[in-house]
A and B are shown apart, each in its own frame.
Chain A
Amino acid sequence: MKNEGKADDPAEFGIWVPGIPAIVEGWLEAANSPEWLSGLILDGIIGGVGAVLGFVPQMLVLFLLLAFLEACGYMARIAFVLDRIFRRFGLSGKSFIPILIGTGCGIPGIMASRTIENERDRRMTIMTTTFIPCGAKIPFIAMIAGAIFGGSPWVSTGAYFIGMAAIIISGIMLKKTKPFAGEPAPFVMELPAYHMPTLGNVLRSMWERGWSFIKKAGTIILLSTIVLWFLSRFGFVDGSFTMLGEDEIGKSMLAVFGNGISWLFAPLGWGNWQAAVASITGLIAKENIVGTMGVLYGGGELSTWATLASVFTGVTGFSFLVFNLLCAPCFAAMGAIKREMNSAKWTAFAIAYQCGFAYVIALCINQIGGACTGNLNIIGLIKSILLIVGMLFMLFKPYKEADKLTKKVKVK
């Protein structure tokens, strides 16, 4: 009641330090910089990279806790404990080690599948490892949780459970197909004794991962945001190539590309070009989804988060989150899949399976969620129910071990 409904004056709380965008804007105005350069620096670089770097404190807390779990010997135990559960679903405990490493980064996770001797199990592990959210997906999860779900802690926790569920469901379904059938390999490992880790080791591990994240934001993400800003702020108007105003962004080169592919994602509930482009740029590096949202939704009257909250509903936001969590990983991880599979056919199958699985799950979330919230699409609902029935059939279909040789063998 003090200010009669108005926001508090920040100066009342002590020395007021304006944000980095305000300080840089002041410098640019003093340097008399043109509109395009101010836009590039403020909306492109600071909007995009800043959106990613804003999550550094949360990332450091996560890395600190992960480093503690690794250093005290718990991670080795959880792999052993999960062997029994994984075995029921056709995966060996050896598959959990790559998944565990994959929580940091999918590339060494995929590489870690080399310890699995059985080729069919190794292929299946490579295909499912990147379902678990890697460090690069955390800013994206945090952005969706903060902007659309009011900072609910269940979103980020749920992302890991969704990843684990996707691995288990895929494990069960794939094991019942011919190329992946067979008993999982036994799992033997030496468990280290529990011990209290040294503070220095935990802090060093946290810093190394955190610094890697910051360096990534300052290199590949910065370059991507510059390119994205250029593509989203320039376009053809009345036959001439020109810089576009805030209200003309829909005519940009990026919008033309995004509109060309956005129809694919319309059944998932987010058929707008910005979300379609963000999903594609996420293939460069998953943090890029946040950077892209910062560039495309920032810069206007509303903040990036406020615009996101106005564009997505709870259901469509969750569908967007799940699709980007489960779909194909970044190009670097795809390269690792190619190296480990050592086959273009299997690489293509792995990426197609990941994208297809993500699409089906996101479609079911949007159609069933839409039906429950009064946004019923009868055809979409029927399709998603059929897909769920198909998945349930694969899940509960009895497993049959092949006892007949069906291949033709030449006997010399």
Chain B
Amino acid sequence: MLGWIASNIGTFIICAVLIAIVSAIIVCMIRKKKQGRSVVCNCGNCKTCAMSGSCHNKISNMS
């Protein structure tokens, strides 16, 4: 068993890194969605955008 784990340790590490990256992306996307920010928006920095108030009305309502 230990020998099998030792021979596949590289695979386990790579898988752990991949799972961590994917989890971080999903958490980040969920957090963005909850904040009312677009997940796939391509317009750059929303703070400087003239239409920011329309896209992020949840944030502007809170503030």
Contacts and interface: CB of A to CB of B under 8 A. Distances in A.
A375 interface: no
Chain A facing B: main interface SS: helix
Nearest to A135: B42
Contact of A220 (B18, B40, B43): B40
Contacts of A331: 40
Interface string A250-289: 0000000000000000000000000000000000110000
Interface in B1-22: 7-8, 10-11, 13-15, 18, 21-22
Task: Report, as a range, how many residues of chain A touch the other chain.
Answer: 35 or more
Chain B facing A: main interface SS: helix
Interface stretch (A207-215, A306-314, A377-385): A207-215
Interface in A286-334: 330-332
B44 A33 contact: no
Interface stretch (A79-87, A105-113, A166-174, A393-401): A105-113
A111 B49 CA distance: 11
A33 B11 contact: yes
B29 A111 contact: no
A209 B41 CA distance: 10
Contact of A216 (B11, B13, B40, B51): B40
Interface string A187-217: 0000000000000000001001101110010
Contacts of B38: 107, 332
A101 B28 contact: no
- Give the one of B7, B11, B50 with max A CB within 10 A: B11
Contacts of B39: 219-220, 332
B14 A212 contact: no
Interface residues of B, number: 28
Interface in A50-105: 101, 104-105
Contacts, number: 90
A116 interface: no
Contacts of B48: 205, 208
A220 B28 CA distance: 10
Contacts of B14: 28, 31, 33, 37, 41
A37 B43 contact: no
Nearest to B42: A105
B59 interface: no
Contact of B55 (A33, A107, A285): A107
A216 B25 contact: no
Interface of A: 28, 30-34, 37, 40-41, 101, 104-105, 107-108, 111-112, 114, 134-136, 205, 208-209, 211-213, 216, 218-220, 222-223, 226, 284-285, 330-332
Q: A-B pairs with the 4 shortest C-beta distances?
A: A31-B10, A208-B44, A209-B44, A108-B51
